[in-house]
Amino acid sequence: MTNGLENVVAAETRLSDVDGAAGRLVIRGVSLDTLVRDGTFESVAVLLLDGLFDADGPRDVAALQSALGAARAAAFGQVAAIDATILALPPVDAMRALVARLPDGEDAATALRLLAAPAVFLPAVLRLQQGLPAVAPDAALSQSADILRMLTGNHPTPEQTSALDAYLVTISDHGLNASTFASRVIASTRAGLTSSALAALGALKGPLHGGAPGPVLDMLDAVATPANAAAWLNAALDRGDRLMGFGHRVYRVRDPRADALKQALRPLIASGQVDSGRIELAEAIEAAALDILKTRKPDRPLDVNVEFYTALLLESLGFPRDAFTGVFAIGRMTGWIAHAREQALEGRLIRPSSVYIGPLPRAA
């Protein structure tokens, strides 16, 4: 019947279009390739949020970069309040708990806080969990450079900053995926952007959505050598497991974001900043999986999705695998906010129907 709402149109949007048959992603009229080539976290945020706020909204890249720098500095004030209860949580849950402490609202100031604060919270949580002191933000840096600096304590190389920007741009928005839909549902009640972001974060962390890249690395570790790929993958499918990083609800061809990220890894590989053995192993797994899935799931075209190369890219930048979903949330926050604003400005309360299939009251 409704079966995961597949093919049900639940919103009109000017923000992004996912063409699953052609394998194409367009964000506000710009193709993913162009966005990734020239874009940064800040430039895609300006593009996505343009016109959705009053005069205080993001105006241009330079203005947004400096406003985000100031907002990161303000968010660092909350790091001192991170306690043992929060540090006992997985990083994405710790981040959600900290975002829940932010004030709610529908204005540009709330949006700015939501764009900046998670970028401070995640590196701080990761360092504190390892017994290291949190690193204060540097308001003069771009968001990507500062995230990496707050994570490692060192200034990143230009290739590392560009790779993180490419990642954050690539995953900034993607049609009406589960977490974006969750954001729009909350926005339709006019609860506020923080509430939308919290709902979206909850939806994102599931392994069928943004929780897949950590398990992709688990798969790489378990396969261990290229020669072992086919046997391991067949055994996983025999057990009824899904191969993480493969398949998509909308794409019936290769997810264009996978190639954008593979491309983004190239400068890191060329400059020796990635373990080339890891890349060779991933490519062997990808090739074997595509071959095996074609034979074993002939009725369902299954190809690699964004999460596969996300795992390699974020690992090469020094993020631990349990933090990958949190980094995804930092990038997707822009899309969640844009959709929430669009819904609040143009949409109605989202209130679908259900068909009751339970028992009826007994006749008296």
| Residues tagged active-site | 248, 307
Instruction: State the number of binding residues for ligand ACO (CB under 6 A).
Output: 19
Q: Which is nearer to ligand ACO, 53 or 251 (CB)?
A: 251
Segment lying near ligand ACO (by CB under 6 A), choices 62-70, 84-92, 186-194, 243-251 = 243-251
Residue of this chain nearest to ligand ACO (CB atom)? 247
Helix segments in the chain, DSSP class H: 32-38, 41-49, 61-76, 84-87, 91-99, 108-129, 143-152, 158-170, 178-188, 193-204, 213-223, 229-238, 256-270, 276-296, 306-316, 324-346
Q: Give dist(CA 307, CA 243) in Å, integer.
A: 11
Indicate the Cα dihedral angle 148, 244, 91, 342, nearest 10°: 80
324 and 167 Cβ atoms separated by less than 8 Å: no
CB of 314 to ligand ACO, least distance (A): 13
CB of 308 to ligand ACO, least distance (A): 8
CB of 259 to ligand ACO, least distance (A): 14
Query: In the range 156-195, which residues lie near ligand ACO by CB under 6 A?
Result: none
Query: In the range 283-322, which residues lie near ligand ACO by CB under 6 A?
Result: 297, 300, 302, 305-307
Q: Which is nearer to ligand ACO, 193 or 302 (CB)?
A: 302
* DSSP codes of every residue in 211-263: T-HHHHHHHHHHH-SGGGHHHHHHHHHHTTPPPTTB--SS-SS--HHHHHHHH
Q: Which is nearer to ligand ACO, 72 or 339 (CB)?
A: 339
Q: Give dist(CA 143, CA 80) in Å, integer.
A: 21
CB of 5 to ligand ACO, least distance (A): 11
Sheet of 24-27: strand order equals 16-19, 24-27, 30-31
Q: Which is nearer to ligand ACO, 188 or 305 (CB)?
A: 305
Among 72, 127, 149, 248, binds ligand ACO (CB under 6 A): 248
Q: Does 100 bind ligand ACO (CB under 6 A)?
A: no
CB of 232 to ligand ACO, least distance (A): 13
Torsions phi, psi for 70 (to 5 deg): -65, -40
Report the SS3 class of residue 304.
Answer: strand
Give the DSSP letter of residue 192.
-
Q: Which is nearer to ligand ACO, 23 or 192 (CB)?
A: 23
Q: Does 252 bind ligand ACO (CB under 6 A)?
A: no
CA 186 to mean position of chain CA atoms: 19
Q: How far, in Å, are 65, 78, 112, 245, 265 from residue 261 at the CA level?
A: 23, 33, 26, 13, 6
167 and 333 Cβ atoms separated by less than 8 Å: no
Query: In the range 101-160, which residues lie near ligand ACO by CB under 6 A?
Result: none
Q: Which is nearer to ligand ACO, 20 or 105 (CB)?
A: 20
> Residue 263, class by beta-carbon neighbours within 10 Å (0-12 exposed, 13-18 middle, 19+ buried)?
middle
CB of 249 to ligand ACO, least distance (A): 4
CB of 24 to ligand ACO, least distance (A): 16
Q: Give dist(CA 60, CA 47) in Å, integer.
A: 9
Q: Does 242 bind ligand ACO (CB under 6 A)?
A: yes
Segment lying near ligand ACO (by CB under 6 A), choices 239-247, 263-271, 318-326, 345-353 = 239-247
Q: Does 246 bind ligand ACO (CB under 6 A)?
A: yes
Q: Does 245 bind ligand ACO (CB under 6 A)?
A: yes
Question: Which positions from 194 to 213 touch ligand ACO by CB under 6 A, shown as an x/- string?
Answer: --------------xxx-x-
Under the rule (CB under 6 A), what is the footprint of ligand ACO?
4, 208-210, 212, 242-249, 297, 300, 302, 305-307
